[in-house]
Structure 1
């Protein structure tokens, strides 16, 4: 009997090993084909370029879906009073909700472009034109600050003068010729911009269709899954997709809202503190905050440098304000809006940003955390299922002081450590005893339920 059980376990592990091997081999071959062969790379790039409107539309529909659901719920409270037919009322409600969400999206984009882009461009142009003067003033300020140390003062003055001269030389000698050269490429640039606007326009239309037929698409997807897989496997797959959707939806939508709120608070704070280029600073802080963990540090460097050149005292105010803002966002705004949707610790967040950011750039830094959150969830689920079959403890902390697992009973064995109070049993041993008691109770419940069935 024991041999048959061992053979079944061996066969099951063999299947899992072969599946993992084939999966990893397929992934390796796929990436080798994509990155090593130019023809395949060209085909994939062409497919992505061709399908860009669909990708944009799917992203817009995914982000706007919560907004559409909100409008649908509000309209559904009123619509039945005017439309008695349930099917017509449902279609009318969905159409109106989709129209409202798309309208809100377009208005927000238009307001952002109309208010932020001109002011940001003006701030950048003013900063470039005033840079030499501001650098000279900054050099004088540094000279006064370092008057007590003549050598340090001379080094600082020489460095600042050299930086100013190099910047002026670059603007006159390199920048203008480059601008004249780039003017010859305006045609291709205009074509790219027009293509981008066209893709966004088609993407909006795709988003409207996707939001309108999302239930039908959901039903078709589940139908295909249940047709291909066994019910048990299909149920697990659908549960994984649902959990992955909650991770992505909660993280991405929450991060966008969090960054928007942070940008507005930063703008108001900069106005109150009279920080120069307040719109540019707020935009940089809001956009970089989309990157988890490192975002606020990445945004702090350019904003502080921009402010430091124009007004060192205001740079100090901005630094203090950004530290306070980071604490407010990290402890109040972020947890309230996003929460721990990914289930990752700080180390794994940093790990995922570094790995995915290094592989896929800015997009990898944005989406690396939810993607790794899904991978972490899948690995945890597989490990817990295997441990559950072996009737082992699922809690991670229970394994910290484990010496071995009893081969006969599958019980966790701990190193015997005396507590400070003189108790002969350590806290880990007590936890192990509690787990054994729970396991015995579960066995009794299972046996009683089997008796009741008989």
Structure 2
């Protein structure tokens, strides 16, 4: 049988009317999706605006619910704990926006300016080492680094600009915040009832879905609790280190290092590079002391604090977590980066549940 006959036989055997219709319908669907891209983006934006207060409210309730449960152990009623907790939460947010955040922006701009000086100081050290004849590529690299940092300084809004932008969006912000707080308030009071109804609906769909929600909740809660402990320890130890070496912005850098843990892999490294660049100015003993301190703290975090705080279930596989990190960042942008680790632990918990035949560990142990 020659090639032409083989092709005819293959077409006659595999190309049917049903398959041809499926291909045509798929192409038509794809074409319609391309035509309605603008409408879909508009509809998604409106849906996001509608759902955002509910998402934020649920996030507030999800974070504050363990606090209310903790105080209930001491006999303090939820009717007292919830309003007080929300008042403290709102006060902290207002304090952050009104006083701490503007100062933080100003300090960050000063730190970036110091980073420019640090890069230029590094270039000077290198030029002196090369006896005044630096390599052209090094000079170009230094110039590009300075341009990037100067562009970053220009992109950071000044305090008046920031205030005007904030005032311009104040109504939308207050509306979303008010609805989110009200929704969060109701969800905290009825948290058990709401979660029970959600689980009942999930059980009606499939027990696998319900068990998946349970293990995801456990994994995310455990991760958040561990993250808060690690962030607190990191803030204390690095603030003390920067204060001991005489850094002018020890407190700000301590806060930045702690919150950089929200951005896996990239965040801590970026802040430490920023710290190094802002510390390259004389005296030299301060540079040496900072390098030794960072080396000691990094090993202390990796081999003492992290194994002590993290349980065996919290151990992170680098390859799979990096995949989730990059996939989340590509699909959801900066929000995806922040949510990459909760997504990683959620997926890992669901995978472990699947390996356990979709049975919860408590059921298996019983």
Same fold (TM over 0.5): yes
2:195 matched to 1:211? no
The residue number in structure 1 matching 2:45 is: 45
Q: Is the 8 A contact 2:72 2:78 kept in 1?
A: yes
Q: Does 1:376 align with 2:340?
A: no
Rate the CA distance shift 1:68–1:117 in 2: closer, same or farther, 3 A: same
Counterpart among 242, 267, 275 of residue 239 in structure 2: 267
Kindly report which structure 2 residues correspond to 1:143-154, keeping only aligned pairs within 5 A, or say none: 143-144=127-128, 146=129, 149-152=131-134
1:312 shift after superposition? 6.0
Deviation at 1:62, TM superposition (A): 0.9
In the alignment, which residue of structure 2 is the partner of 1:99? 83
Tell whether the 8 Å contact from 1:284 to 1:303 is kept in structure 2 after alignment.
Answer: no
Aligned mate of 2:101, from 113, 117, 133: 117
Question: What does 1:46-445 correspond to in 2, within 5 Å?
Answer: 46-76=46-76, 93-109=77-93, 116-127=100-111, 143-144=127-128, 146=129, 149-152=131-134, 189-226=166-203, 228-229=204-205, 233-234=206-207, 236-308=208-280, 314-342=286-314, 344-383=316-355, 385=357
CA RMSD, 1 decimal: 4.3
Measured against aligned partners, the alpha-carbon deviations of 1:80-122 in whole angstroms (never above 9, x if no partner) come to xxxxxxxxxxxxx111121232234335445655774354334
Q: CA deviation at 1:40?
A: 1.4
**Secondary structure in structure 2 of the residue aligned to 1:151:** coil
What is the deviation of 1:252?
A: 2.5
Tell me by how many angstroms 1:64 deviates: 1.3
- Worse-matched range after superposition: 110-119 or 300-309: 110-119
**What do residues 157-195 of structure 1 show as CA deviations (whole Å, max 9, x unaligned)?**
977996799799989xx959x989x96x98665322442
**Cα separation, 2, equivalents of 1:292 and 1:170:** 25
Q: CA deviation at 1:335?
A: 4.0
Instruction: Assess, with a 3 A threshold, how the Cα gap between structure 1 residues 57 and 314 changes in structure 2: closer, same or farther.
Output: farther
- Tell me: CA distance 1:197–1:330, structure 2 relative to 1, closer, same or farther (3 Å): farther
Change (3 A) 1:35 1:281: farther
SS of the aligned residue for 2:262 comes to coil
Greater RCO (Cα-Cα under 8 Å, separation 6 or more): 2
Question: Is the radius of gyration larger for structure 1 or structure 2?
Answer: 1
Tell me if the contact between 2:212 and 2:353 (Cα under 8 Å) persists in the aligned partners.
no
Is 1:54–1:206's contact at 8 Å kept on the other side of the alignment? yes
Render the CA deviation track for 1:285-320: whole Å, top value 9, x for unaligned: 112112334432232222222333576654443343
Which residue of the partner structure matches residue 18 of structure 1?
none
Instruction: Tell me which moved more, 265-274 or 320-329.
Output: 320-329
Q: Which runs of 5+ in 1 are unaligned?
A: 1-28, 77-92, 389-454
Structure 2 regions of 5+ residues with no counterpart?
Answer: 1-28, 360-366
Flag the 1:97–1:309 CA change in 2: closer, same or farther, 3 A: same
Shift of 1:246: 0.6
Farther-moved stretch of structure 1 (154-163 vs 114-123)? 154-163
CA contact (8 A) 1:356 1:365 kept: yes
Aligned length: 329
Stretch of structure 1 that moved more, 285-294 or 59-68: 285-294
